[in-house]
Structure formats: C-alpha cells, structure tokens
Amino acid sequence: MTLADKLNAGETVLTAWSTLAAPAVVELLARADFEAVTLDMQHGAHSVDSVHDGILAIAAAGKPAIVRIPVGRNDMVSRALDFSADAIIAPMINSVEDARAFAAHAKYLPVGQRSWGPARALSMRGIQKGQDYLSSANDKTVAFAMIETRAALASLDEILAVPGIDGVFVGPSDFSISWTNGAAVDPHHEEMTEAIADIGRRARAAGKHAGVFVFDAPRTQSYVKMGFNLLSVIHDGAYLSLGMSTMLDQARNG
C-alpha cells in the first residue's frame, strides 16, 4: 500500500524525520516503527546524493519515502519523484502562485507540467511500462504545501483548491515567528493553536491531507484529533540526543 493509499484509506501516518544525511542513519530510521521516513533538504543536511541513496534505504525496509525540498527549489520536486519518492513537502508556500508553481513540478499534464524521466522510480517499483507510471503517478504521489505564515493562512482556501496540491503541512515554528512578527519561536504558542487546528480541519474538509511537524512527541495525538493525518516525530538529532542522555544518566547513576 502506497503512502497515498494509506492516507486515502484514513490511516494516520507517523513519519521519522531525517536531517543527518547519512544512508546508514536513514536505514535505521526506516527499520524503526514509523510508517514513513522524511528526508529533509530544507533545514537538514540532505543533498541530491543523500536523497538518492536515502530513498533506497527506505524502500529496502518497505516504507514510503517523503522528501522536503529547500525553499523554492521546485527542480527537486520532480527529481525526488524520479528517484522514487512517494511524497514531497514544499516549504513556505505562502501564496496561490507558490502553490501552482509547486504543483506544476509535482504532477504530469494535464494537472501540472512535470517532465518525464522516472527511470529509477520504475525500476524501484517494478513497473515495466512508462505509460503505467504516467497514468498513475499523479494519484500515487502526494504533494504537501507547507502552511507556515500568516500570508499562507490567509490564502489557505485558494491553496487547497489548486489542482495537484494533495495536502498541506503545518510548520508550527515558522508559524509562530510569523504570528509574532519575529518576536518569538514557539511551536506550541497558545494563541495560534486554534489557527493550526483550523488548518487541519479545513484541509480535511476540502478532501486534502493535513500534515504537521510535531516538536513534542506527547502532543502528537492532540494534533491527530485536529484532523492531522501525517505527523512527523521531531527529528533524528533529537532521537540521538534523547538516547544519549538517557543512557548517560543510566551509566553515571546506575
């Protein structure tokens, strides 16, 4: 079952978040108990090479791969899909124009203008005929537009209406900076909680998926209740830190 199928079937997907651009780490994330792994090219260290290799490591564990591209780097949207990514998260989609440009690279005609060349995706998915991929790719890959500013919120309905945008993904830290005009970074800023919940609800009501970056694992289910169905669990640096501090404490204090 692809990521698209899972989300469409109503499943809640927890994704590992990879910032340490090493295939060996991606491999471990993929074998853990997440339903997906996201490779972060925006704030993580991932590059073209590590995304290419990372997608293989994720596929080897039978999991779907999600790639977050850098701001405005729509060339990577189709490259990551060609490499066999299952979904793309595009940051800072602050206007309907941003959303349209993103969708143009994520979807083939007639929805967008994605360019043809998915040799590796075919190979990894065991698809023999290009035509079969062309016919299914728009539906089977998922494009998430990040909603993380007041401007994006103001354009939310329009963005949700853009053909080819399959979902939104909330970035609570950036949202808090935007909310406070640079005064604070706080993903759990109380005043904006209702706005985030509203994004989740409106996206689902529009028949689109709703993702969110979760900075504090115990809050995950509260986001699920808002309607979010793709939820990151912090990132690999945090997993490592928590593991190290826990074990160091055990080692020093028995």
Give me the phi and psi of 190, to 5 degrees please: -60, -40
Is 188 known to be catalytic?
no
In the complex, the smallest distance separating the C-beta of residue 206 from a second copy, rounded to whole angstroms, is 23
| Closest to a second copy by CB, 205 or 244 | 244
Give me the phi and psi of 132, to 5 degrees please: -65, -35
Q: Judged by CB under 8 A, does residue 207 bind a second copy?
A: no
For 68, what's the count of Cα atoms within 13 Å in the CB-facing half-sphere?
A: 30
Q: Judged by CB under 8 A, does residue 234 bind a second copy?
A: yes
Per-residue string for binding with a second copy, 148-167, x by CB under 8 A? xx------------------
Among 5, 11, 49, 194, binds a second copy (CB under 8 A): 49
Site for a second copy, residues 97 to 116, rule: CB under 8 A:
105, 108-111, 113, 115-116
Among 38, 53, 145, 208, binds a second copy (CB under 8 A): 53
Site for Mg ion, residues 84 to 123, rule: CB under 5 A:
115
Catalytic residues: 43
Site residues, Mg ion (CB under 5 A): 115, 148, 171, 174
